Amino acid sequence: MSMNAAISSLKQSRGVIERYREFLPVSDSTPIVSLGEGTTPLVYSAKLSARVGRGCEVFVKNEGVNPTGSFKDRGMTVAVSKAIERGARMLICASTGNTSASAAAYAARAGIECAVILPAGKIARGKLLQAFVHGAKIIAIDGNFDDALRIVRKLGQRENLAIVNSINPDRIAGQKTAAFEIVDLLGDAPHFQLLPLGNAGNLTAYWAGYREYHGNGRSKKLPAMLGFQAAGAAPIFHDKIIERPETIASAIRIGNPASWKQARAAIDQSKGIVDLVTDEEIIDAQIWLARHEGIFVEPAGAAAIAGLFKCCSAKDAVYSFKKIPKGSRIVCTVTGHGLKDPDVLTARMETTTPVAADEERVLRALGL
């Protein structure tokens, strides 16, 4: 490739729209707003595979390495590109943090305004910082995410405002590309797909992606979809709206998911399950993944790993891996980067007292 050709290719979008254009609601006249999202690592974990046993293979799809640190970017590139095509002046979203971080960044890239409606005091510090640094208008409400989304649904009816929550089908369309990537790499769909469940858009999107690839012959199998909610915010598990959801995993602190019905249908059609994981199990899984595989995810991101552990050993698990077919392939999607939410773990970090700047003292402090 000549230097000029290389540069001009770089100037084109390198994100999921470019890669999966034929499966997405875009045309040649859609202005593509991309930050190079997607193509995230699918990491084989020998240690998680050993935990499951029976010759199973476990892979971790690390969505925390997207441009704004979460899977939301896959949907945002499509939603924002389409919003610009339709002439929107301002993006608006409700968020538990990651949607607002992503919307703010893509709005900046596109050169339009962005308003984010957030539950006051319940957004992880890094995510709030992202919305701020990208120049979004930040409105904190005295209420939770479900209240914020109710308001956004109303405001979104105004002209020139584009809602970029996952109630916008363009978001779901973009997010299904994660399933495409998994099938493209594995050569087929996995037997099991584990995901955290919050507003339930992502599980809905994965299922749409797996079904689409299956429908056009790119995969032979369809996975069972296993969704995991935080114990204090588990409306789908309990089959009832939770008025006051609570969990340390603030990203999935949602009591009335927008894609509830779609996710329920995906779980049922795929012969999957929904289960819950406690805050303690979530944090244990977060630290385990960081210490054993070098992958640092935010608490909500660890819900699928906590779910995997539960399926391996807990007596009260909705689905047990004890009788899992031998050689099954399992994909756990981790959805957001750990650096977004430092406060959750900082409380547990041991404080270190400084020692003298002296080789001997350092050796002694190391216990060597």
Residues at the contact surface with ligand AN7, assessed by CB under 6 A = 70, 95-99, 166, 196-202, 251-252, 298, 300-301, 335-336
Q: How far is the CB of 128 from ligand AN7 (least distance, A)?
A: 12
Distance CA 161, CA 368 (A): 62
Residue nearer to ligand AN7 on the CB measure, 102 or 219: 102
Distance CA 154, CA 52 (A): 46
Residue nearer to ligand AN7 on the CB measure, 42 or 225: 225
Q: How far is the CB of 71 from ligand AN7 (least distance, A)?
A: 7
Residue nearer to ligand AN7 on the CB measure, 99 or 144: 99
Q: How far is the CB of 303 from ligand AN7 (least distance, A)?
A: 7
Give the strand order in the sheet containing 113-119: 137-141, 113-119, 90-94, 161-163
Distance CA 217, CA 319 (A): 29
- Number of other CB atoms surrounding residue 171 within 10 Å: 29
Q: How far is the CB of 103 from ligand AN7 (least distance, A)?
A: 9
Structure tokens at 114: 């962005």
Residue nearer to ligand AN7 on the CB measure, 34 or 96: 96
Residue nearer to ligand AN7 on the CB measure, 202 or 328: 202
Distances (CA, A) of 324 to 50, 56, 286, 317: 13, 9, 24, 13
Three-class secondary structure of residue 249 per DSSP = coil
Residues 6+ apart with CB under 8 A from 84: 31, 33, 110, 112
Q: How far is the CB of 282 from ligand AN7 (least distance, A)?
A: 11
For residue 114, the cross-strand partners are 91
Q: How far is the CB of 64 from ligand AN7 (least distance, A)?
A: 8
Strand intervals (E) in 223-352: 224-230, 273-277, 329-334
Structure tokens at 118: 């957030």
Residue nearer to ligand AN7 on the CB measure, 97 or 209: 97
Residue nearer to ligand AN7 on the CB measure, 93 or 222: 93
Q: How far is the CB of 112 from ligand AN7 (least distance, A)?
A: 19
Q: How far is the CB of 97 from ligand AN7 (least distance, A)?
A: 5
Distance CA 175, CA 169 (A): 10
Residue nearer to ligand AN7 on the CB measure, 96 or 144: 96
Phi, psi of 137 (to 5 degrees): -80, 120
